[in-house]
Amino acid sequence: MKLWGGRFTKETNQLVHNFNASISYDQKFYKQDILGSIAHVTMLEKQGILTTEKDAIVDGLQGILNDLESGALEITAEHEDIHSFVEANLIERIGDPGKKLHTGRSRNDQVALDMKLYTRDEIVEINDLLKELM
């Protein structure tokens, strides 16, 4: 899934694609990205923006998380980043409701949240390891 370039008539050069791709390092944020998306769609439902789609989206996201953690689903380099990977898999699983996942937030919002949650989780783990070491 290409996140940009819709107005260009020629195929994107592979070097440009490689330069823009971040999936090789942001794949470690998959859990935080999915949990952040679940929180986001929950908020969208509370605000009346999503109605019946919320449950399908949450179930689809939880299924992706379960499949990634069990090894049934693998993150591949065909997607530009972890967000497009999750979104593409969600749409494949639940159809059009999956396209509403990013309503009201940008990719930059997702990146900031994923990094904050990942850092928080790592601090908790390091703290636990230090306590064990002591």
Which is it for the CA torsion 46, 50, 56, 61, positive or negative? Answer: negative
> Are 89 and 73 contacting, i.e. CB atoms less than 8 angstroms apart?
yes
Q: What is the DSSP string of the chain?
A: --SS-TT-SSPPPHHHHHHH--HHHHGGGHHHHHHHHHHHHHHHHHTTS-STHHHHHHHHHHHHHHHHHHTSS---TTSSSHHHHHHHHHHHHH-GGGGGTTTT--HHHHHHHHHHHHHHHHHHHHHHHHHHH-
14-46 tens-digit pLDDT: 555 454 556 767 888 999 999 999 999 999 999
89-117 tens-digit pLDDT: 999 999 999 999 989 999 889 989 999 99
The pTM of the full predicted model, rounded to 2 decimals, is 0.81
Pairwise CA distance, residues 48 & 129, whole Å: 43
Residue whose C-alpha is closest to residue 86's, from 103, 105, 99, 72: 99
pLDDT band, very low/low/confident/very high, at 79 (cuts 50, 70, 90): confident
pLDDT on residue 19: 46
